[in-house]
Structure 1
Amino acid sequence: MAFIEVEEGVRLFYEEKGQGRPIIFLHGVWMSSRFFRRQVPYFSEKYRTILLDLRSHGQSNHVHYGNTVSAYAKDLNAFIGKLGLQDVILVGWSMGAFVVWDYLKQFGEGNIHSTVIVDELASDFKWPDFKIGAFDIDTLIVFMTEIQTNRSPFLQSFLASMFKNELSVADASWMLGEVTKMPESIASAILFDQSIVDYREFLPKINVPTLLCFGRLEKVIPVAAGEHLHKNIPNSELVIFEDSCHCPFIEESDLFNETVDGFIQKGV
């Protein structure tokens, strides 16, 4: 467990285990690297496995500026540079997918071996020409208001919606603890930004091998989102996890780990 300063006053928490090609797991909005604990034992046998808390999330320090996907991608670039990582595999879940795409957009693919995208749309917003988006403006307003005035009950319900099956009391408790670590002001700021970024025009420019992992149950993200990505990202492969919703790496962790590893090994 360690911290690294990627910008003056911005310290990111990370954990790493294992040796070999680096694989970095990037979490969703409000979440943290703790959600990827089931990946560490498996991947650390073959890879330098890194769990990273994005700016203001998890155990990284709370910073009341730069809470945008673009800034998080810059942080990721600085993190990779400071650790001297080469030929990196990026795994982006939910908002973490946006961070992956923004990194590729800003810094190119030269140091990236492959990417894994987990249950995310090209844009979360339901634009007039993108009907499969997750949020319309009315939903976004409700979410912003709930974060400011009713956060814990709202997030308890939101967390439950991410899984096919009911969470245990223990899991619901630690997850709620993770997603309420940051102040409401930061939670609102990054929710708004990550809800309106749009990577549709960028997708065809992605050339690195890309694995798309989607849960069959559509409480949060529709399977059509994965089909849209697969159609628009040239070198991509789509896998549907039949017993998962938004978190196949938790809900079907063994199958997820084996699927991602198999994908990586094909490109070695």
Structure 2
Amino acid sequence: MPFMNLEDDLELYYEDVGMGSPVIFIHGVWMSSRFFKKQLPYFRQKYRAISLDLRGHGQSSHVQKGHTVANYARDLKKFIDELHLKEVTLVGWSMGAFVIWEYLHQFGENNVKGTVIVDELASDFKWPDFDIGAFDLPALTGMMRDIQSDQKELLQGFIPLMFKEDRSQSELEWMLEETTKMPASIASTILFDQSIIDCRPYLNKITKPTLLCFGKEEKLIPVAAGEHLEREIPNAKLVLFEDSCHCPFIEETDRFNRIVDEFIGSLN
């Protein structure tokens, strides 16, 4: 299994398959690269398809420091530089979108060909001037306390909300196993940071083509979030997935893969 050493106590797990233009899949909070297991076999046929576990997530080192979106973006920069990747397409699901936007904010667009944003808001927080946010302060602090008291129970309730239709018991079991690899101390820390980050000031500075993939089912993220991003990001296009909630790449795999493939092809 490939690991990349970024710091003395930090190794990132990643998968790297295929040849061609690089496409990097970046997961959401508490999740891992395993959630993209239906993407890599497809995209490796035409591209260099890469997925990684962010620090503290999945099989990467569970270090106790550095758990902010801004720092995850710095990890991504080191990862890209270490692999000498050029003209990358970044695919970010949920918190992965924040990592992309923060990466662009810190390091610019020079080495990025385009981005794919999957079911995320410009900010998860309900700011006074942003009422479509996912969390207000009581909801956020409640979730953080629930993680500390019973992380497994919280995830058992949260994971089904990511899908429009009920998933099989075996699917729910591997997802729970994957998300409980992360210590509760890290889980609550990164939940807070990714929930209050506000990327709205960055959006109108993005010039690279952006594909927005949003599930029509609104258990977690409203369609209005995608419509807002389409208005704010120049050169953005919104595609809705009728039979999906938060995970169109799992719920409508074939359509998702095809649409993202066509988008990446258009960048050439």
TM-score by structure 2 length?
0.99
Provide, for residues 126-165 of structure 1, a one-character-per-residue CA deviation record: whole Å limited to 9, x for no partner.
0010000000001001100110002111101100000001
User: Does residue 138 of structure 2 align to residue 138 of structure 1?
Assistant: yes
The answer to whether the Cα contact below 8 Å between 1:91 and 1:115 also exists between their aligned partners in 2 is yes
Number of the residue aligned with 2:41: 41
What's 1:100 paired with? 100
Residue 7 (structure 1) shift: 2.4
Q: Which residue of 1 aligns with 2:80?
A: 80
> Are 1:91 and 2:70 counterparts?
no
For the pair 1:13 / 2:13, whether they are aligned, the reply is: yes
Which residue is equivalent to 1:181? 181
Of 159-168 and 7-16, deviating more is: 7-16
Please, what is the CA RMSD of the aligned residues? 0.6
Distance in 1 of aligned mates of 2:28 and 2:180: 13
Is the partner of 2:24 in helix, strand or coil?
strand
Q: Matches of 2:59 and 2:256 in 1, distance apart?
A: 25
In 2, the alpha carbon distance for the partners of 1:216 and 1:204 equals 25
Match of residue 211 from structure 2: 211
Identity %: 62
Matching residue's letter, 1:235: N
In structure 2, C-alpha distance between the alignment counterparts of 1:37 and 1:92, rounded to whole Å: 15
Aligned-pair CA distance for 1:218? 0.2
Q: How does 1:220-231 map to 2 (within 5 A)?
A: 220-231=220-231
In 1, Cα distance between the equivalents of 2:80 and 2:9?
18
Deviations 1:222-243 (A, max 9, x none): 0000000000000101000000
Matched residues in 1 for 2:167 and 2:263: separation? 29
- The gaps in structure 1 that reach 5 residues or longer are none
Contact 1:67 1:190 in 2 (8 A): yes
Letter paired with 2:72: Y
Could you state the TM-score of these two structures normalised by the residue count of structure 1?
A: 0.99
Partner of 1:153: 153
Which secondary structure state, in structure 1, belongs to the residue aligned with residue 39 of structure 2?
helix
Partner letter of residue 190 of structure 2? I
CA distance in 2, matches of 1:151, 1:133: 23
Compute the displacement of 1:6 (Å). Answer: 1.8
Distance 2:176 2:216 in 1: 24
Alignment of 1:105-124 (within 5 A): 105-124=105-124
Would you say how many aligned residue pairs link Structure 1 and Structure 2? Answer: 268
Q: Post-superposition, which runs of at least 4 consecutive aligned residues in structure 1 deviate over 4 A? A: none
Q: Supply the AA of the counterpart residue of 2:52.
A: L
- Quote the Cα distance in structure 1 between the aligned partners of 2:7 and 2:116: 26
- Tell me the alpha carbon deviations over residues 178-220 of structure 1, each in whole angstroms, 9 at most, x when there is no partner: 1110110000100000000001111000011100000000000
1:238-257 matched pairs, under 5 angstroms: 238-257=238-257
